[in-house]
Amino acid sequence: MLETLPQVPEDSILGLAAACRADPNPDKVDLTVGIYMNEEGVCPVFEAVRLAQQALVDEETTKAYMPPAGDPVFNHGIQRLVLGADSPALADSRVSSIQTPGGCGALRIGAEIINAAAPGARVWVSDPTWPVHIPLLGSVGLKFETYRYYEPASHGVNFDAMVDDLKQAKQGDVVLLHGCCHNPCGADLTLEQWGEIAEMAAQQGFLPFVDIAYQGLGDGLEEDAAGLRLLVQRLPEVIIAASCSKNMGLYRERTGAAIFASASPTSASALRSQAQVAARRIYSMPPAHGALLAGRLLADDELNGNWQDELQAMCRRINGLRTSLVSKLELCTDRDFSFIEREKGMFSFLGLSREQALALREEHSVYLLESSRINVAGVNGANIDYLAEAVGKVLLSH
């Protein structure tokens, strides 16, 4: 039976990262996979996470299954982190959540809930969006439409085009939105624009589904969630996929949450029950370790303060890298790269052609996607000059 299965092409991003690892060039630069890297090129363990982990090892007395909805301390903490400690929706008990295996698990659980309520519903996704969004949501049978979002000419959001496309979204449709630090373009909506989307959702009846994977890596924990919170404040229903991979560094621990803001406590409870049944079908029980660590970071005042300090330092470093990269690129080229400094989070398009992106890889061992999307956090003091010079050479010769 299994001999009939063909070899599947390698994931384009992971394949590029593997090619970079195999490249013998000592000056190679890896700007591919969306993982935060420090100045030494290492994805670090937060000191707050290390302390929480040591305490957990010392105190843990069982390896029994977690509750079906996950760790209650984590669920309480992640709801407050994403929606705000003073959220009226939380005060009104119209929010529920379940712990999931990463943000990907949260997206899949959200898709399961949507398909249970409206089989084969249409999901509107931005152009561009994270490539895994469509297979994750489409695997349950949901259909897709695209709304215009990023405008290469201006290196920003084409909000008029976005609104024009979303005018076609109807009641029963879902609109997938990036909560902050848009992946892959780094161009975010303003709070005023979030308000316009909320008004459209209220009038047209579509359901917002917000993927917030980078809270705290744009402008700050509170600022990055402001648009999402506005939706929850103004609308009866919002689904949220939250991740602790980036802002707590828990990549390999697969820690996330599917959060449901609904019209009443009764519907919130029903949604949690539906989500637990969906999880039972897919992976049965949630993983423990990452959520127990995240729960401690969110519940313990000292650990929480330490974590927030570390996260703010990461955010400042990324924003500083953006400023430095603009300066270096403009020294080595005759182009305006100031848009990089206006963007948020870990990603940016450099605005290069596919041919130029390939030339960077083949001639200079600078690995980025063919779309010219880079992980800004892959830049550091040791490679920034080489990167800027390589871009300058490629722009001159191609």
Asked about 246 being catalytic, the answer comes back as yes
Query: Each residue of 149-187: b (16+ CB within 10 Å) or e?
Result: bbbeeebbbbbeebeebbeebeeebbbbbbbbbbbbbbb
Are 220 and 56 in contact by the 8 Å Cβ rule? The answer is no
Residue with tokens 């509170």: 222
Which residues sit opposite 98 in a β-bridge?
258
The label of the residue with tokens 């084969």 reads: 120
Neighbours of 67 (CB within 10 A): 13
**Catalytic hit among 28, 246, 328, 344:** 246
The span from the CA of 48 to the CA of 317, in Å, is 18
The rounded distance, in Å, linking the Cα atoms of 349 and 369 is: 9
Among residues 130, 165, 328, 344, the one annotated as catalytic is: 130
- 65 by Cβ neighbours in 10 Å (0-12 / 13-18 / 19+) ranks as exposed
393 carries an active-site annotation? no
- Catalytic one among 30, 211, 224, 300? 211
Catalytic positions are 130, 211, 246
